[in-house]
Amino acid sequence: MKFLLPASLLLVSSATGWNTDVHNQIGFMAEEFLTANATAVLSQLLEPQYNGSIGRAAAWADGFAHTDEGRYSYQWHWIDSHDYPPKSCHLNYSQDCSTGGCVVSAIANQTSILKSCIKAVQTGAFSPDRNLTCSYALKWVSHFLGDIAQPLHASGRAAGGNFFKVKFGNESTELHAVWDGYIPYLAANVSHPFSNQTIAPFFSGLVSRIRKDLFYEAPYMWTACTDPEDAVKCATSWATESNSWTCNYVYSRVNQSVDLAEDGYAFGAIPIVELQISKAALRLATWLNKLVGEEGNIEQNEGVVVGQQGRVSGAQQTILAHSEEETVDEL
């Protein structure tokens, strides 16, 4: 099967995380699972221009990291594993998180700050004009729970695929950019970037699939480790899960000599991207609800039950079957 993306979309991918509009959409998806109380509390932490919306604020961290003021946060968006997919995939937080921080430590640190901010709101001690610390914490947490679900944000090979040259839609690009934006756009079959103001139809469809338990892996499995008190443990487990995809698909199925939009690679990657985006959104909502004090009832009316974590095993074969005829280079 041949896939081609519109030229307008081939120009909007970045190397910093899911594309900014995809980050917005993960935030909008998460809002669908927030309790009314959590929404009311969290909206007080954001600057007025976001109109109380996490979705509108979820992409802020990428732009901030590229300013002189925010340059220190640039490396918080990933964790560089010391492994070599597809031959070896292994993530070790104490070894792989750099001294300046990584996405795991950033989630833990900003969650701690956010917890204090939420308490201030709940006790009446919060002042919107106090400083930007609380808004930043919420925006970082919302962003980083998205980043950590992108497989190449948990891989050190070729700087997360940024130096791994490929072709997509007859355009020369990098593997990281393919996963950041090209595949989500292809999955949604869109000819323009997603809205940064409201949830887009494709992501509304993912929300519906979560609620109806229509993924091959049950949504209750995604939220087994979502206790903000164990932030490092949970974030490390999410990063390890993302890292495993670099062996199980990202690098094991890639072929640098062909167009990835045409050889089946993109088709096989779509269910992985849909899964990882959906995990990020549900985990973010669960995380924020728990910080506000809502202990896990966000899905009680939607047929989703919070339970034990499951890991991808034989189910990966279902995804890989979509592209079983691909030719794969040994790397």
24-35 confidence digits (pLDDT tens): 999 999 999 999
H or E element at residue 167:
strand 165-168
Cβ contacts of residue 40 below 8 Å, gap of 6+? none
Domains, the chain, in order of start with CATH, read: 20-73+81-323 (1.10.575.10)
Q: Label residue 326 by pLDDT band (50, 70, 90).
A: very low
The pLDDT of residue 303 is: 38
Predicted structure pTM score:
0.87
Residue 321 CA to residue 92 CA, distance in Å, equals 30
The answer, yes or no, to whether residue 189 has pLDDT greater than 80, is: yes
The pLDDT of residue 127 is: 85
The answer, yes or no, to whether residue 9 has pLDDT greater than 80, is: no
Residue 159 CA to residue 152 CA, distance in Å, equals 9
The values of phi and psi at residue 165, to 5°, are: -75, 135
Q: Label residue 318 by pLDDT band (50, 70, 90).
A: very low
The pLDDT of residue 128 is: 77
Give the side-chain half-sphere CA count within 13 A for 24: 17
Give me 260's structure tokens: 């990835």
